[in-house]
Amino acid sequence: MPMTGWYPLLLKLDGRKCVVFGGGAVAQRKACGLLDAAADVHIVSPRVTPELQEWANCGRLSWHEKEAEPHDMDGAELLFAATDRPELNRRLAEAAAERGIPANIADDGESGDFIVPAVLRRGDLILTASASGAGPALPLRIIGELAERYGHIYNENVEALRTIRGIVKANVADPAERRVLLGAAVTDDALAQWRTAGRLRDKDELIAQLRQLAKRTEGTDT
């Protein structure tokens, strides 16, 4: 039966304890995503990949060189059961449920509390794709296409948008007009125009140009 009803969200994990049981390729991938979110990552596994070993050596994460025990997850916000023993993963997820900790189960996504989508990060812009458990191949293809369409320049675009939005919010009182101006600000051409810091500093010029852009867009719509 296909999985349905997953709810997409972005979690704040910086400095929060996340426990990954297992130290293979899957545990490494989950740890990598957690480190991108600045989580406090704990790997519990008798053996780990060379990369995980390296990250432990340089203090990016903690490696507990031992077999999984339920108390390892005490104080954790999220749990990843990614050992190569399905029965152990299931028992760890049960122990997590008893503690109210959401669990991801590597060998049986459907039985877990959450699944992990394929991700593309461009600075603060986060694009994700998921097939709700049907597997990563299609989401990965789509993320590859998005990576080409939304190149590294988008790191700066999000920065520009953050600044523009701050200026518009502070200087335009009417919410309907704000929406129109911010809509005009996010075309590729407009973002390219605003990326230079000099322009963004001049609030009046920024608002005037956005009004002009919005009018032009309105003109092409009709």
Ligand X SMILES: NC(=O)c1ccc[n+]([C@@H]2O[C@H](COP(=O)([O-])OP(=O)(O)OC[C@H]3O[C@@H](n4cnc5c(N)ncnc54)[C@H](O)[C@@H]3O)[C@@H](O)[C@H]2O)c1
* Residue pair 123/158 in contact by the 8 Å Cβ criterion: yes
Which of these segments, 66-74, 90-98, 127-135, 144-152, binds ligand PQ2 (CB under 6 A)?
127-135
Per rule CB under 6 A, is residue 3 in the interface with ligand X? no
Per rule CB under 6 A, is residue 55 in the interface with ligand X? no
CB of 76 to ligand PQ2, least distance (A): 16
Return d(Cα 211, Cα 195) in angstroms, integer: 17
- Cα-to-chain-centroid distance, residue 195: 24
Binding-site partner at residue 84 among ligand PQ2, ligand X, none, CB < 5 to 8 Å by type: ligand X
Of 137 and 208, CB closest to ligand X: 137
- Which positions from 11 to 30 touch ligand PQ2 by CB under 6 A, shown as an x/- string? ------------------xx
Q: Which residues lie across from 42 on neighbouring strands?
A: 19, 62
Per rule CB under 6 A, is residue 74 in the interface with ligand X? no
Return d(Cα 154, Cα 160) in angstroms, integer: 9
Report residue 60: phi and psi, to 5°: -75, -30
Per rule CB under 6 A, is residue 76 in the interface with ligand PQ2? no
Q: Work out the number of other CB atoms within 10 angstroms of the CB of residue 153.
A: 13
Binding-site partner at residue 135 among ligand X, ligand PQ2, none, CB < 5 to 8 Å by type: ligand PQ2
Of 88 and 142, CB closest to ligand X: 88
Among positions 108, 124, 202, 218, the unique one binding ligand PQ2 when judged by CB under 6 A: 108
SS (H, E, C) 120-146: EEECCEEEEECCCCCCCHHHHHHHHHH
Q: How many residues does the chain have?
A: 222
- Which H or E element spans position 41? strand 40-44
Among positions 35, 37, 88, 115, the unique one binding ligand PQ2 when judged by CB under 6 A: 115
Q: Which residues lie across from 119 on neighbouring strands?
A: 128
CB of 44 to ligand X, least distance (A): 6
Of 116 and 127, CB closest to ligand X: 116
Binding-site partner at residue 130 among ligand X, ligand PQ2, none, CB < 5 to 8 Å by type: ligand PQ2
Return d(Cα 30, Cα 122) in angstroms, integer: 19
Of 103 and 168, CB closest to ligand PQ2: 103
Nearest of 78, 74, 69, 66 to residue 20 by alpha carbon: 78
Q: Which residues are at the interface with ligand X (CB under 6 A)?
A: 21-27, 44-48, 67-68, 82-85, 88, 106-107
